[in-house]
Structures are given as C-alpha cells and as structure tokens.
Amino acid sequence: MGATLQTIADALGVSRSTVSNAYSRPDQLSPELRSRILDTARRLGYAGPNPNARSLRSGKVGAIGVLLTANLSLAFSDPCTVAFLRGLAAAAERRETSLLLIPLPKDPEAAQRVVRGAVVDAFCVYFVPDWCGVLEVISSRGLPVVGGEDPELIGPDQFHVGIDERAAAREVGTHIANLGHRRVAILGHWLVGNRTSGIIQVDAPEDLPYFVTRERILGYREALAAADVPWSDVLLVNVAGSHRAEGELAAGFALDRGDRATAIIATSDVLALGAIQALAARGLRAGRDVSVTGFDDIPEAAAVGLTTIRQSSEDRGRLAGEVLLDPPTDPDRRCRVLPTTLVVRATTGPAPGL
Amino acid sequence: MGATLQTIADALGVSRSTVSNAYSRPDQLSPELRSRILDTARRLGYAGPNPNARSLRSGKVGAIGVLLTANLSLAFSDPCTVAFLRGLAAAAERRETSLLLIPLPKDPEAAQRVVRGAVVDAFCVYFVPDWCGVLEVISSRGLPVVGGEDPELIGPDQFHVGIDERAAAREVGTHIANLGHRRVAILGHWLVGNRTSGIIQVDAPEDLPYFVTRERILGYREALAAADVPWSDVLLVNVAGSHRAEGELAAGFALDRGDRATAIIATSDVLALGAIQALAARGLRAGRDVSVTGFDDIPEAAAVGLTTIRQSSEDRGRLAGEVLLDPPTDPDRRCRVLPTTLVVRATTGPAPGL
DNA sequence: TTGAAAGCGGTACCAT
DNA sequence: ATGGTACCGCTTTCAA
C-alpha cells in the first residue's frame, strides 16, 4: 500500500529500472538480485507494478471492451447474448485477456463518453443502435473493432463477424408464404427506440435503427412481397425487450383482433416462445391455428418444436474474439459470414382454410 | 489518432490545463473557448483524454473486476453464475461502471499475476479456491473486495455478501435423514481440484479447497451425523464441472453398485437435474426409488419438482455491487447474510422399505 | 548487468 | 477565466 517501484529501489539502493526489470524482464538482471528485489517488495507490501501506469506506458491493457445496449443485466437474461459472450470469453481466456462489459447509456452523448473512456485494447460491439455514434469514437481512438452488425466495417482495424441476417429472414418469409399465409404479423425486438410495446407502422424499414432487426425485417418483407403479400397488409409489433413475457404480450396485439393473423414471425426465439404461450392462453395451437417462427434456435426451441433459423451465437462470439486477438492479415478474412439454416419443426403449418 | 492534449493546446495557443478543463470541468472556462477547443479537437481527430493517462492520474478507472475460477465460458453456462452477474451488472450500470470479467488461470502464480495487473477499482470474487492467494494480492493492492466466500473478510475495505452455506446444507441433510435415508451419496462440484469426476474419500471435509462446497459438505455431514449416519457410510462423488451431463455421470457412481444409495444430495441444482436423468435412464423414479436434492432453486428446479435450497443469486450479485459502489460506513453492514429456504418438492420421499 | 533520464498523456493545485 | 508546473508510476532507450 503506497509503495512504488521507487520505494523498493531506495530500500535496496538500486535504480527503478532494475526493479522494473525484476518484474517485466527477468532475464535482464542477475537471478540473485532479482530475488532480493522480490523479497524486499514482499516485505514492504509492494504489490507489483501499478497496472495503470504500466498500461499508460506500454499502451496495452489486456482487455477487450464489449459494448452492449442498455442494461447489462438484460445481456445476462437473453440466452443468445449469453452464448455469444461464452464464445467470446473462451477466445479471450486463451490469451489471458479480460472482458470489459460496458453498459451503454441510452443517451448518445453519454454513450460516446463511456466508449471514449473505456480502458481497453479493442472493442466488440454487439447490439448497438446505428445512431449512437460509438463506432466513430472507436475509430477515432484508433482501436480495433469487431462487430456483427455493420458489414461496412472494413478499415484495417475493423472486422466483421456475423450472419447474413437478411437472407436468413428471407428463408423464413418464404417458408411462411409457401404455406399460404396472407395475414402475417411480425414481432420485432427493439424495432424502434422507445420503451413500449405495440403495433407500429413502418413504411420504410430500411430506416430502422438497429442493424440486426432492420435486416431481418427487410428479409421478411422481401420474401412476402415476392409472394404478393403487400407490406401494408403486414402487422408490425414493436417489442420493447427480449423476454418471453414481452413476446406473449406482443403476440396479443396480433391475436386479439378481428382479422387475426394466421402466422406470427418473431425476430427471436424468446419472443416466439412467448407468442406460443399467448396462443395457448387463448386455446389456440401453434402450427395448426396459427403458425409461429423464431430466430436463433436456442435449446428451448427444439424442445417445443419451434420452426426457426439456426445460428451459433457461441461460434460467433468465439470467432469475434479470435479475429480481435490475432487479426488476420488477409483482408478477405476480415469479414466472416457464418452459416444459418432454416429448421422447420412443428409450429408452422398450412394456413387454416387451405 | 496520435493527437494529444498538447496538440490541441498548441493549435489554439492555449495551455494544456485549459484543454483538459474543456473536457473534465466545463465550468472552469468560458463556453466560447470551450466550444472552440472541442471543435479543433474534432477537426484534428482528437478522441478526448486518454483513459489510461486519466486513470493513472485520478486513480479511478470505473470498472470492477470480477474474479471467476477457470473458464469464463463456464460462467456463462451456469444459470446461477449468470444470475449473479445479472445482479452485479444491474448495480454497476446504475453507476456507469463496467464489469471486467477476469478468467483466473489454474496456476496460482499466474492467477496472482493476473489479479495484480487488472485495471480496476475494486474486486468481486465469486468461486475461487482458497489456496490461490488472490485475496492477499488484492489487499496488498489496497483495493476493496467483496466476496461471498470468506466471511472473514472484515478489513475496512473488505466486504462479505453471501448466505449461510452450512446452515442451508444442514437443513437439506436433516430433511433427508428425517425421511429415513441411511445410504446417502453426495455429488459435489469441484470438491477437489482435479479434472476428473469420481468417488473420492474425504476424511476431513474442512480441508476442501473451495469455500462454498466445503461449507455445504460440512453442513450435510453435521446433519447426517446428528441422525447417526456415520460420515464413513456416505458416498462422496467429486464432479469436475457444473453441467447436467456431469451430474448424470456422477450419479451413475452412486447408482450402479450393490448398495445403491437411496438418497442423492447434490451441491447444485444443475447436478441434481443430471442425477434425475441418470435415474430415469435406469428406470428409477426420483422421490420414490431414490430421493434427490439440489441447491440454488434455479427456474428449472421448480419445473421438475426438485427439492432444493432457495437462494437468490441475483440479489446476491446486486448487493455485492452496491456494497462495492457505495461502501457502508457502519461496520455491521460490511457483512451481509442473505436468507435461504428449504423448498420441499417431489423428488424427495421416505426411504424405500420404510 | 546496472543506472540515468526522458517521456507516456493527463490532472490538479496554485498563481495570475 | 486561464496558464504554469509539479507530479501519477512505470517503461525504455542509451550509456556506463
């Protein structure tokens, strides 16, 4: 406590450099002197070089910053995010690197401040709205970034690891259209920034703020349009969260009206599971009365027979970590697109009356 | 990139202090000058004060270090750990604080090095073996710690947030003994340090390396002893992990032998769920043929009717964060013991033949 | 092998 | 309101 390199140096009558070397470059001094130094340090209660000072000097911290929208606690509720972090963590620990989980304030200015001030060597952005400007801050700090969101990340220190969100969503849309559904509702998590769930009208989905949900919506729209289901006929429900209960609530908007939807497309499995609950509560059966699809293929999806898109969030996290920890020199490998599969199970079936 | 405070100062012919103030203390200079500074900074691609340098000088980082044993990725697999982190995160984000998730190497020396080098303001230790010496490193760094493990943490900067592990375990043991069970097996996660599951003999549980499992084992032993079940009759199985599959495997050791156990006590719900699977695979029913107990009361426990100890890992995490973020002045509040309850459900019943 | 000195990029106190 | 000037604690040439 309170002891510094100098303290030890003085106590032994050696120079600071030597003490520093005793910790950071053992080969630069005699083993004997080194052990004398280490002993004295222990005796004086010196904990070793101050990490702050060391990283200021060396420019390395040993941590990668993970940018997560809004509440961190939510990150730990969502199975997909947890899987992603698990993969990322696996990659990080192999290099004795830590993960700095950074809660991003809602206010863009505050968000930027936080990103500017994070003590890290690199960033991983996960589910961050386009407008908050954190990518700009990162690049102005000159730090590497990997994102699953913006495939336009292509600078020398910028990487992309993700899936083809739009193509995957298109598969879902096509599947639903092929089954003859014409009254379709889409439950989208955080389609818009506000905090309340409800029906919204989005004439231009290309302007939605979150890359992931935006792309998925665009994919659904493309597929439905190809099957002559006009976008204006599609009911869009914004879901202000990623919990099952919110999915259940949101599904209610699609179910409790005269022209009940015959198909509910959810942008995540968690929401879809909620929708299935909503059906059950109304005496309806998923796959017969109303078709339901999800996205992600979390473990529970298989258990309830949910039709969904399979992706491996864990792989995605792992790859993101690896890309950051030893950056590929080959520019082609700076952008990785992982595979997805449409998994058709029991919750989708022909539109009733066909 | 490459621009510093000085760069901006020179460009405007003002002093570094002023530029610094423009960022850190807006009230110390005229709004006009401030905006001129900020503009120039933007123009010159200056990202704002270097976080490393700032934290070296100010002594604050805005992050709390979370020490997790072995693989971080495991932390994200275990529902209990995830819940704990969720609570911790909730407390942290309220103060614009980040969480540095630190994977602790197996090797004690490496572990200490990592802890010594972590750029944080405080630590939270979660499931760390006694012998690795990280607590000592933390205290020599003079940083606050909160742990759920060692209630002996009582220094002015040391806090404890946990449950009475032993008393809770004692309740389980008493419950099992009261049901008449005499052939008892205990599945314990990480009872010993090695990486393989199997039957072990532990004559002195008080020497087990992990606080949490040690206390629980001691609690079980006390309760069983009080009911005249000698410790030497109890089958102890070490489980090298915290996955359901490992619980299933471990339960096999207790089931596939002549004097099959009539009760399986697991130190966590996840293991208990695995044990129930092991029973099913052998055509046995939990609660009738063999009683099973868990610990934690994770959501799935209720679903399968598991008898267990209820605790709130999320509360624990939240409280740990709060204690670190604004330390109680009252010494009594430096040690918080959260409540637990024995929840008796369907997986425990009278010993067969009674 | 060891030591001296110059930063790394800021912040904070004290003048002005 | 702005500037001057010590540091913060360590690493890193370079010289001895």
* Any A CB within 8 A of B25 CB: no
Residues with Cβ within 8 Å of B302's Cβ and at least 6 positions away in sequence, in order, are: B345
| Predicted local confidence at residue A154, as pLDDT | 74
In eight-state DSSP terms, residue A351 is P
- Among B47, B62, B119, the residue with its CB nearest the CB of A63 is B119
Chain B residue nearest residue A59, CA to CA: B52
- The mean predicted confidence, pLDDT, of chain B is 92
Which residues pair with residue B67 across a beta bridge? B102, B125
Alpha-carbon distance B137 to nearest alpha carbon in chain A (angstroms): 7
| Predicted local confidence at residue B71, as pLDDT | 67
The answer on pLDDT for B177 being more than 90 is yes
> What does the buried/exposed string (b/e) look like for A241-255 if buried means 16 or more CB atoms within 10 Å of the residue's CB?
bbbbebbbbbbbbbb
> Quick check: B119 and A87 CB within 8 A?
no
Higher pLDDT, B252 or A326: B252
User: Whole-angstrom Cα distance, residue A333 to residue A25?
Assistant: 35
* Any B CB within 8 A of A82 CB: yes
Distance A34 CA to C1 C1' (A): 12
In eight-state DSSP terms, residue B351 is P
> So where are chain A's domains?
5-49, 63-164+313-338, 165-311
In A27-56, the residues whose Cβ lies within 8 Å of chain B are: 45-56
Residue B315: pLDDT band with limits 50, 70, 90: very high
Alpha-carbon distance A73 to nearest alpha carbon in chain B (angstroms): 4
- Among B82, B93, B114, the residue with its CB nearest the CB of A96 is B114
* Strand D nucleotides within 7 Å of a protein CB: 1-5, 7-13
Residue nearest to nucleotide D3 (CA to C1'): B15
| Predicted local confidence at residue B70, as pLDDT | 63
User: Whole-angstrom Cα distance, residue A340 to residue B301?
Assistant: 32
3-state secondary structure of B293: strand
Structure tokens at B96: 């614009």
User: Whole-angstrom Cα distance, residue B254 to residue B263?
Assistant: 9
Question: In angstroms, what CA-CA distances link A178 with A182, A233, A265, A354, B171?
Answer: 10, 17, 14, 12, 58
The answer on pLDDT for A283 being more than 90 is yes
Which residues pair with residue A204 across a beta bridge? none
> Quick check: A47 and B89 CB within 8 A?
no
Query: Best mutation site among A44, A88, A100 for testing chain B: the one with the most B CBs within 10 Å?
Result: A100
The answer on pLDDT for B203 being more than 70 is yes
Distance B271 CA to D14 C1' (A): 61
Query: For the domain B165-311, what is the CATH superfamily, name and number?
Result: Response regulator (3.40.50.2300)
pTM: 0.90
Same fold? B63-164+313-338, B165-311 = yes
Which nucleotide is nearest, taking the CA of residue B4 and each C1'? C9
Q: What is the DSSP string of B207-224?
A: G-S-HHHHHHHHHHHHHH
| Predicted local confidence at residue A76, as pLDDT | 80
Rg of chain B (C-alpha set): 26
Angle at which helix B165-178 crosses helix B211-226, to 10 degrees, equals: 40
* Any A CB within 8 A of B106 CB: no
> Quick check: A117 and B62 CB within 8 A?
yes
Chain B residue nearest residue A87, CA to CA: B73
> Quick check: A116 and B48 CB within 8 A?
yes
Residues with Cβ within 8 Å of B109's Cβ and at least 6 positions away in sequence, in order, are: none
| Predicted local confidence at residue A195, as pLDDT | 76
Interior CA angle at A148 toward A114 and B83, to 5°?
65
Structure tokens at B341: 């309850």
* Any B CB within 8 A of A341 CB: no
- Among A45, A56, A89, the residue with its CB nearest the CB of B72 is A89
The stretches of chain B forming alpha helices (DSSP H) are 5-12, 16-24, 31-43, 51-58, 72-75, 79-94, 108-117, 134-141, 165-178, 211-226, 244-255, 269-281, 299-304, 313-325
The string of pLDDT tens digits covering residues B79-128 is: 999 899 999 999 998 888 999 999 888 888 889 989 999 999 999 998 88
Q: Which of A161-165, A193-197, B33-37, B333-337 has the lowest mean pLDDT?
A: A193-197
* Any A CB within 8 A of B140 CB: yes
> Quick check: B72 and A62 CB within 8 A?
no
* Any B CB within 8 A of A198 CB: no
Chain B residue nearest residue A58, CA to CA: B52
Query: For the domain A5-49, what is the CATH superfamily, name and number?
Result: lambda repressor-like DNA-binding domains (1.10.260.40)
Alpha-carbon distance B110 to nearest alpha carbon in chain A (angstroms): 10
The string of pLDDT tens digits covering residues A197-236 is: 999 999 999 999 999 999 999 999 999 999 999 999 999 9
Residue A96: pLDDT band with limits 50, 70, 90: confident
| Predicted local confidence at residue A221, as pLDDT | 98
Return the biggest CA–CA distance within chain A: 92
- Architecture of the CATH domain B63-164+313-338: 3-Layer(aba) Sandwich (3.40)
Structure tokens at A336: 């990785």
Half-sphere exposure of B150 (CA within 13 A, CB side): 19
Interior CA angle at B183 toward B288 and B277, to 5°?
45
| Predicted local confidence at residue B75, as pLDDT | 80
Which nucleotide is nearest, taking the CA of residue A58 and each C1'? D11
Listing from the earlier edge strand, what are the strands of the sheet with A145-147? A335-338, A158-163, A145-147, A122-125, A63-69, A98-104, B98-104, B63-69, B122-125, B145-147, B158-163, B335-338
* Any A CB within 8 A of B67 CB: no
* Any A CB within 8 A of B99 CB: yes
- Mean pLDDT confidence for A173-187: 98
The string of pLDDT tens digits covering residues B129-139 is: 887 889 989 98
- Mean pLDDT confidence for B204-208: 95
Distance B42 CA to D2 C1' (A): 22
Residue B59 burial (C-beta neighbours within 10 Å; 0-12, 13-18, 19+): exposed
Give the number of other CB atoms < 10 A from CB of residue A151: 15
3-state secondary structure of A188: strand
* Percent of the residues in chain B that have a pLDDT greater than 90, as a whole number: 71
The stretches of chain A forming alpha helices (DSSP H) are 5-12, 16-24, 31-43, 51-58, 72-75, 79-93, 108-117, 134-141, 165-178, 211-226, 244-255, 269-281, 299-304, 313-325
User: Whole-angstrom Cα distance, residue B228 to residue B225?
Assistant: 5
Chain B partners within 8 Å of A61 (Cβ) = 52, 119
User: Whole-angstrom Cα distance, residue B72 to residue A93?
Assistant: 7
* Percent of the residues in chain A that have a pLDDT greater than 90, as a whole number: 68
The answer on pLDDT for B218 being more than 80 is yes
| Predicted local confidence at residue A241, as pLDDT | 86
Residues with Cβ within 8 Å of B47's Cβ and at least 6 positions away in sequence, in order, are: A116, A137, A140, A141, A142, B1, B3
The string of pLDDT tens digits covering residues A59-85 is: 899 999 999 876 666 788 889 998 999
| Predicted local confidence at residue B200, as pLDDT | 96
* Any B CB within 8 A of A133 CB: no
| Predicted local confidence at residue B19, as pLDDT | 92
Residue A1: pLDDT band with limits 50, 70, 90: low
